[in-house]
Amino acid sequence: MANSGPFQLGDRVQLTDAKRRHFTIILESGKSFHSHKGMISHDEIIGMPEGSVIRSTLGSDFLLFRHLMVDHVLSMPRGAAVIYPKDSAQILVEGDIFPGARVLEAGAGSGALSMNLLRAVGEQGKVISYEIRQDHLDFAESNVDEFFGGRPDAWDPRLGDLKEVTADDLGGPVDRVILDMLEPWECLEVVRDILIPGGVFMTYVATVPQLMKVMEGIREQQCFTEPRAWESLVREWKVEGLATRPEHRMNAHTAFLIWARRLTDGVTPPRPQRRARK
Ligand SMILES: C[S@@+](CC[C@H](N)C(=O)[O-])C[C@H]1O[C@@H](n2cnc3c(N)ncnc32)[C@H](O)[C@@H]1O
């Protein structure tokens, strides 16, 4: 699928009606989109610029845009809960996912984070995604392949338990490790063994007991910096004259993010010396 330019065959296009309802189609020659508001031929859309408006046979207007990654993530079929865009954004920036990076991810789940990681590492990078469940891996693979229009060369999805993985299995250590699973503390020794010194480790957990357990586990390894933990809250606003205010509804909680960096073996990090309180 192209990312810009006039619409082409194979593009995933979102049609939005006056009530802001979305309908997604994949452009195919000779096909048409039907709704109770009339018919639109795919061939009419091919060649139009993005952001155009098209009129159906019954006179209804639809706005045309390509499907963005965020639209795909929020609408694709799921085996497991996805990492929401606000949290993926935090992972990409705080996790310092750079073009060319070698990233280990587990579990692949529905493939939402895999897609974001693949975009960030680019064609020269590598994303190795472990998933313990075949049915979830099937969702991840079909969602990623569908979004990119085929299997990205940079992606290596694998069926397996991260607890059993070694650096040799990965062809050497990785630059970044991102975990989104129920019990990440069970994989901390693996993370220690596969992450390069200076590498960034992030994990994503939904509950306070998980947060406490993984923070303690990271400290016990004694090969990471003091871990940081935070959550991100995103609140949409309605902006309409005197009615301008935050939206009433929001996703108040998704999960906590935890971040640490791998030390070189055998070092003890300097700790801040606190003055005794009088
Ligand atoms: C919440 S989902 C991950 C969602 C994914 N990050 C996404 O954005 O679509 C958690 C996944 O971790 C997998 N999992 C749990 N323990 C695992 C392990 N030890 N090794 C590999 N995968 C594991 C589960 O089967 C599940 O599919």
Residue 270 confidence (pLDDT): 78
Q: For residue 108, how far is its CA from the centre of ligand 1 (angstroms)?
A: 5
Model pLDDT for residues 35-55, shown as the tens digit of each residue:
999 999 999 999 999 999 999
Q: How far is the CA of 119 from the centre of ligand 1 (A)?
A: 20
Give dist(CA 205, CA 20) in Å, integer: 33
In degrees, rounded to 5, the angle at the alpha carbon of residue 110 between the alpha carbons of residues 181 and 189 is: 25
pTM here is 0.93
Alpha helical stretches, state H, the chain = 42-45, 69-75, 85-94, 112-121, 134-148, 188-194, 208-221
Atom of ligand 1 nearest to the CA of 183: 16
Mean pLDDT along residues 155-179: 98
Give which of 138, 121, 95, 107 is closest to 262, Cα–Cα.
Answer: 95
Q: Is 110 annotated as a binding residue?
A: yes
Which burial class, exposed, middle or buried, applies to 164 when counting CB atoms under 10 A from its CB (0-12, 13-18, 19+)?
exposed
Give the percent of the chain with pLDDT over 70: 97
Question: Which whole number is the average pLDDT over 113-128?
Answer: 98
Domains, in order of start, for the chain:
12-67 (3.10.330.20), 72-261 (3.40.50.150)
pLDDT digits (tens, 9 = 90+) for 247-259: 999 999 999 999 9
Q: Tell me what pLDDT residue 1 has.
A: 67
Model pLDDT for residues 16-39, shown as the tens digit of each residue: 999 999 999 999 999 999 999 999
pLDDT digits (tens, 9 = 90+) for 61-100: 999 999 899 999 999 999 999 999 999 999 999 999 999 9
